[in-house]
């Protein structure tokens, strides 16, 4: 499948809200308290929050398309926009989501390859990310692609404090 990547801008805000909510809900709703989850979705993927992130010079969102459809998106952060390390030689892959009906088509791998290429263009020496400790499928996928656990951090879904594994891959 031929795919393309499009750097998002403010004019993509409505579509970004839609795909962010859709992919997060399909990935995690069933595993979370409904009230906490609804509160999280309402805030984290609001116009105000996503617009602020789009305007942040240290963050980039990319849409992933084939010739006809939006397949998913990803978000990378550098410098002070990173949620943790904030080291100049690291790039955070904060979000990587493929719309459910396109999962299993190696789109995630193509996104990861794009992130590696972007990191190299930006002269980064490693990529890091946080992944929910209960998301065993994602953890195994990252491990397959040479990411290694180096720590943990808390991640709040409403009032529910969960734990993310911090994983890193040297470039």
Per-residue confidence band for 112, with pLDDT thresholds at 50, 70 and 90: very high
So where are the chain's domains?
4-127
Cβ(44)–Cβ(78) under 8 Å?
Answer: no
Global pTM reads 0.96
> Across residues 111-125, what is the average pLDDT?
98
What is residue 38's predicted lDDT score, i.e. its pLDDT? 95
Is residue 113 helix, strand or coil? helix
Count of other CB atoms within 10 angstroms of residue 71 = 24
- Cα 107 to Cα 43, 44, 113, 167, 169: the distances in Å are 28, 24, 10, 20, 19
For 47-147, where are the alpha helices, taking DSSP H only?
Answer: 47-55, 107-121, 136-144
Q: What is the pLDDT of residues 127-152, one digit of tens each?
A: 999 999 999 999 999 999 999 999 99
Strand partners, 70: 65
Instruction: Quote the mean pLDDT of the chain.
Output: 96
Q: What class does CATH assign to 4-127?
A: alpha beta
- Which residues are identified as catalytic? 142
């Amino acid at each position: 499948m031929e795919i393309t990547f499009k750097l998002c801008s403010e004019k993509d805000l409505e579509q970004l809200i839609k795909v962010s909510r859709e992919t997060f809900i399909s990935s995690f709703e069933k595993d979370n308290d409904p009230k906490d989850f609804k509160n999280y979705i309402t805030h984290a993927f609001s116009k105000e929050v996503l617009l602020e992130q789009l305007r942040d010079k240290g963050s980039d969102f990319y849409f992933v398309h084939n010739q006809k459809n939006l397949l998913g998106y990803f978000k990378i952060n550098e410098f002070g926009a990173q949620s943790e390390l904030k080291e100049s030689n690291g790039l955070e892959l904060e979000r990587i989501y493929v719309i459910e009906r396109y999962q299993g088509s190696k789109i995630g791998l193509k996104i990861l390859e794009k992130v590696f290429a972007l990191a190299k263009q930006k002269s980064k020496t490693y990529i890091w990310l946080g992944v929910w400790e209960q998301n065993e499928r994602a953890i195994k996928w990252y491990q397959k692609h040479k990411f290694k656990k180096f720590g943990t951090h808390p991640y709040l879904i409403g009032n529910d404090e969960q734990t993310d594994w911090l994983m890193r891959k040297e470039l």
